[in-house]
Amino acid sequence: MSAISLISRSAAPGSGRADAFGAFDYAGDSLHDRPIGGAPALSVRARSEALANDPALREAYATARRVRRAIRPVMTVEVTATCNLFCEGCCYFHDDFEAKPEPEDVGEWRAFFQSQWDDGKRYAIFHGAEPALKQDRLMAAGELFERGIIYTNGTLRLHDSIPFVRNVSIWGDEDSTEKVRGGNTYRKALRNFENDPRARFSIIVSAQNYRQLPDIVADLVAAGVSATISYFSPSYSYLDKLSAEAPNDNRFYRFSRSDDHMMMSQEDFEQADAIIAELTSKHPKTLLQGLDYNKWLTAPGSRYALDEDGFAAECAVRHRSAHELYGTDLKPIEAKCALADTDCAHCRIVPASTTSVLHNARLYAGSMEDFLFWIETAFQAGRFFLRDDDAEVWRGAPPPPAAWREHFGVGADAG
């Protein structure tokens, strides 16, 4: 089992660096070492020259920009505070969690969704504990919103009338799932969403399961579904208990201890990156993971420049005007982000990292390497958040993130 690897909450990203956002200039760092927000916006000359010289790259860039527009502005709402699993280190249920009242009348939810639509929101994110337990609320949202995503554990089939992407999380293979989720839901999730083009399985990679990835991907290929990779991103509560060697309970901290836990070491990340690169090459239509994006996501240190509170300063899922967060009581969430107990220094969650790159394009225009990384990450976000039949965005077959250059015919001289 990997050693516990913790990044200080007060430390800025990068080894040996001080603790204030903006105190360091990361502009000289390599792309994979650089956290989001760690370098100032640079000249767009490299991007402009590249676009002028390659029509295929211009087409790819135009598609990436349509992806960015399609998932903004955003409404995120907790659909319910009820769940049917006990995932180890859950970021929703934590020590200070208090359930808020949920309107039972679907008419209240319908009125809420109407108000969000009237306010200009065009992309909807549904999470909480387990949204599939309250499908009448999701169907009400589907009466207005065409684009959206539901974060679900896969234990319940979603009604066909619900138009949104189904993001189905799996935390291991058939033999390990019960240990980490409190129930063996692996095969059930595959059966519930088999051959569903709206499904995006999200493999939550951890120290418990990264060696299982070849078998998991083989099962996804057989089920006719696609998947992306996220990495276990611990909550403050989980880190505190692990560091204090706290006793286990019968809920969300059932087995973790210093020699058996979810945290990945840097060696684990490097091995996982190599495994994923090989699997992506073999199954590009199933494993929708950009190679540069994954290498960046598994690099050492925080993936975000942190502010004085230890929060990700440039994270796109923070509560801001273009991304508003609401609890189960349909009131604004007073928290740093939708999963407020997640430690920003250790966050490697796909929805946060991809959109944070996507909506900070100004930080990735100063070099060719940066620009190509931005486009890859845009397609990573698009294949995660958008359906493959979204004709307005894709205008044809959507590109595999790891092979987008081949998809568009971008010339070798663009790299």
Q: Does 58 fall in a domain?
A: no
- For the stretch 379-392, pLDDT in tens is 999 999 999 999 99
Contact (CB, 8 A) for 89 and 36: no
Q: Does 356 fall in a domain?
A: no
Average pLDDT over residues 96-108: 91
pLDDT score of 1: 53
- For the stretch 51-89, pLDDT in tens is 998 999 999 999 999 999 999 999 999 999 999 999 999
Q: Does 176 fall in a domain?
A: yes
The amino acid that residue 207 corresponds to is: A
Q: Does 374 fall in a domain?
A: no
pLDDT score of 172: 96
DSSP letters along 54-103, please? Answer: -HHHHHHHHHHHHHHHHT-SEEEEEEES--S---TT-SSS-TT--PPP--
Q: Does 33 fall in a domain?
A: no
CATH of the domain at 302: 3.20.20.70
Give the Cα separation of 325 and 335 in Å (integer).
Answer: 9
Average pLDDT over residues 108-117: 98
Residue bearing tokens 């975000």: 304
Query: Residue 48: how many CA atoms within 13 Å on its side-chain side?
Result: 5
Q: Does 200 fall in a domain?
A: yes
- Name the pairing type of β-strands 323-326 and 226-231: unpaired
Exposed/middle/buried for 196, CB within 10 Å: 0-12, 13-18, 19+? middle
Q: How confident is the model at residue 413 (pLDDT cuts 50, 70, 90)?
A: low
Range of the domain at 256: 74-346
Considering its fold, how many domains does the chain have in total?
1
pLDDT score of 7: 53
User: How is the beta sheet containing 147-152 ordered, strand by strand?
Assistant: 226-231, 199-205, 165-170, 147-152, 123-128, 74-80, 323-326
**pLDDT above 90: residue 410:** yes
Least trusted range by pLDDT, from 17-26, 54-63, 313-322: 17-26
At 244, which helix (H) or strand (E)? helix 236-244
- For the stretch 334-382, pLDDT in tens is 888 877 789 999 999 999 999 999 999 999 998 899 999 999 999 999 9
pLDDT score of 17: 30
Per-residue tokens: 151: 């974060």
**pLDDT above 50: residue 15:** no
Q: Does 409 fall in a domain?
A: no
The per-residue pLDDT of the chain, averaged, comes to 90
DSSP letters along 151-180, please? Answer: EE-SSSPPPTT--SEEEEEE-S-TTTHHHH
Q: Does 27 fall in a domain?
A: no
